[in-house]
Amino acid sequence: MHPCSREMQGINYVLNPSSQIPLQDLQNQQHQQIQNSPFDPSSSSNDDFLDQMLSSLPSSSWADLKSPWDLNPPTSLNIPINNSSAKPREDETPPSMPENVGFHNFDESVILAAKLRQHQISGGPSPAVAAAAKAMLQQQLMMATRGGGLPQNDVVDGSSFKSPTRGDGSVQALYNNGFGAGSMHGTGQASNQSQQHFHHPQAQNFSTPGAGAGMAMNQPQASGSTGGAPAQPRQRVRARRGQATDPHSIAERLRRERIAERMKALQELVPNGNKTDKASMLDEIIDYVKFLQLQVKVLSMSRLGGAAAVAPLVADMSSEGRGGAGGGGDCIQATANGGSLPRTNSNSTQTPSSNDTLTVTEHQVARLMEEDMGSAMQYLQGKGLCLMPISLATAISTTTSHSRNPVLNSNHHSLLHSNGEGPSSPSMSVLTVQSATMGNGRGDASVKDAASVSKP
C-alpha cells in the first residue's frame, strides 16, 4: 500500500491494511451517526432542528410541557427542573389553567424548545452547570413574566396573548443569555416588543426562537460543560478531545495511542531513533533488526575460528539473498577481525595503498557487482577489503575505539581508522555513485545501502 499524501493517513493505511478506516471515513461515520440519531440535538443544521424536536418528543410529556408556561408564575420557579415526573407539581407550580390548551397552537415550538432545554439541563453531566442553567432559567422566566405584566386570571385571548410573548421573551432571554450578556433588560424589552407585533411574526418568531432556543440551550451547556456531549458540529470541535460519543472513535483513539506508545518505546531502543514520522521509524526498526540478525549469523561463523573459511561463506551468504551488500560486508568485518589469525597475515601485507589501486579496485568491484554479488565479495575478500553500508561504517568507526573489541584493534585491522570518520570520502562517494547507477536496474538493497569500500 502506498502512503497517501497525508502522512498519518498513509500510516493508517500501512498499519491497517485490513481495517480500512482512514481518518476521513471515520469522520464521515461520525457525521452519519449523529445525523441518524433522532433525538440527538447535535443536528448539523438548524433547519432540521425543529423537525427533529417535533418528531422525537414523546407525547406523554405534554403534561409536563404545560407547566413551565403557565400564566401565573410562582415566586419560586422550580418548574423546569422536574420534568421527569409526569404530574404537574402542585406545591410550586401554578395550577394548570384551561388556557394552556390554547397554547398548543403557537406555543408548540416554544414548549418543545423548553422541554428540550429541560431535558438537557436535567440530563446534563455536570450538576453545577445544570444548576446554573436552572437558575438562569428561573430568572429569565421571572423577568419575562414581569416584563409581560400579566394579571393572573385571564381571558383566553389575554392568556394566549401573553404566553407567546412570554415564551418569546423567555426564549429570547435564553438566547441572549447564551451569549453571556446580562440581558435581563433586553428580556423585558423583547417581550414588550413582541407583544406588539404578536400576530405577524408569530409563526416566524416561533421557528427562529425555537432554533434560537435550541442553540441557546446548547450553548450554555457545551461552552459551560467541557465534558458534555457536543451539540452541533461547530461545538463538537470545541468539546474536549477525550470525549466522543462514538465507541468506534474511542476504540480507534485508544488503539492509536497504544501504537504511539510502542513506537516511542522502540524509538528509545533503536540507535538513531530520532525520526519523527512513523514510516522512517519503521524503516529504522527493520534495518536494526536485520542488522542484529546478521550480527548473530556472523558471530556464529566466527565461532568456528577460521576466517579462511569466510570467503566461501560470504559467497554463500550473498547468494542467499541477504539484504544487500551492506549486510554481507558487515559480517565480513566482524569475522575477519574476530580472531582469525591466518587472515591477519594477508591483511598486513596490503597495508598502504595508493589511490590508484583503490580506484581500480572500485571499478573492478563495480563490474563484478553487476554480475554476481558473491564473486564481488570474494574479490574484495581477496584484497582484504570489505563492503559495508555507510551508515554502519560511520557508526562503527565512532564506537569502535571505545566499545567492545580489543581483538578488533589488536589485529589492527579495524577496518575504519578510528581517527577518521570512516573510509576516505572520495572512495565512498565514488562507489556510492557507481552502485547507485548500477543499482537502478536491480532496484534492490544495493541501492538502498550505499556501499563503501573500506581498507583495513
What character string, x for contact with another protein (CB under 8 A) and - otherwise, covers 202-231? ------------------------------
Q: Which is nearer to another protein, 91 or 268 (CB)?
A: 268
Take residue 334 and report the three cell numbers written for it.
566482524
Question: What is the smallest separation between the CB atom of 58 and another protein, expressed in angstroms?
Answer: 44
Question: Quick one: which segment of 233-241, 319-327, 348-356, 414-422 binds another protein (CB under 8 A)?
Answer: 319-327
Q: Which is nearer to another protein, 84 or 319 (CB)?
A: 319
Q: Is 10 in the site for another protein (CB under 8 A)?
A: no
Question: What is the smallest separation between the CB atom of 408 and another protein, expressed in angstroms?
Answer: 9
Among 244, 309, 395, 438, which residue interacts with another protein (rule: CB under 8 A)? Answer: 309
Among 300, 345, 349, 354, which residue interacts with another protein (rule: CB under 8 A)? Answer: 300
Residue type, 220: P
Q: Cα separation of 446 and 444, whole Å?
A: 5
Residues 439/414, Cβ–Cβ less than 8 Å: no
| Alpha-helical runs (H) found in 16-126 | 23-36, 47-56, 62-66, 99-123
> On the CB side of 310, how many CA atoms lie within 13 Å of its CA?
36
- Positive/negative CA dihedral, 364, 370, 374, 377: positive
Q: Which is nearer to another protein, 304 or 436 (CB)?
A: 304
Q: Cα separation of 80 and 77, whole Å?
A: 7
For residue 344, give Cα distances in angstroms to 101, 155, 338, 393, 414.
108, 117, 10, 20, 11
Q: Which is nearer to another protein, 19 or 55 (CB)?
A: 19
Question: Quick one: which segment of 9-17, 31-39, 49-57, 343-351 binds another protein (CB under 8 A)?
Answer: 9-17
Please calculate the CA angle 311-421-380 and round it to the nearest 5 degrees. Answer: 20
Take residue 395 and report the three cell numbers written for it.
557508526
Q: Cα separation of 139 and 21, whole Å?
A: 48
* Distance, C-alpha 138 to centroid of its chain: 42
For residue 351, give Cα distances in angstroms to 108, 237, 383, 405.
99, 69, 10, 21
Q: Is 9 in the site for another protein (CB under 8 A)?
A: no
Q: Is 296 in the site for another protein (CB under 8 A)?
A: yes
Return the residue matching grid coordinates 394552556: 100
Q: Cα separation of 64 and 137, whole Å?
A: 16
Among 299, 360, 433, 436, which residue interacts with another protein (rule: CB under 8 A)? Answer: 299
Among 285, 368, 395, 438, which residue interacts with another protein (rule: CB under 8 A)? Answer: 285
Among 283, 357, 367, 425, which residue interacts with another protein (rule: CB under 8 A)? Answer: 283
Question: What is the smallest separation between the CB atom of 335 and another protein, expressed in angstroms?
Answer: 10
Q: Cα separation of 79 and 138, whole Å?
A: 8
Q: Is 155 in the site for another protein (CB under 8 A)?
A: no
Q: Is 265 in the site for another protein (CB under 8 A)?
A: yes
Q: Is 406 in the site for another protein (CB under 8 A)?
A: yes
| Residue 115 main-chain phi, psi, to 5 deg | -60, -45
For residue 162, give Cα distances in angstroms to 91, 99, 103, 107, 118.
23, 11, 10, 11, 22
Q: Is 258 in the site for another protein (CB under 8 A)?
A: yes
Among 104, 185, 248, 255, which residue interacts with another protein (rule: CB under 8 A)? Answer: 255
Question: What is the smallest separation between the CB atom of 405 and another protein, expressed in angstroms?
Answer: 7
Among 57, 263, 368, 395, which residue interacts with another protein (rule: CB under 8 A)? Answer: 263
The binding site for another protein (CB under 8 A) comprises 1, 14-17, 255, 258-259, 261-266, 268-270, 279, 282-283, 285-286, 288-290, 292-293, 295-297, 299-306, 309, 312-313, 316, 319-321, 338-339, 404-407, 442-444
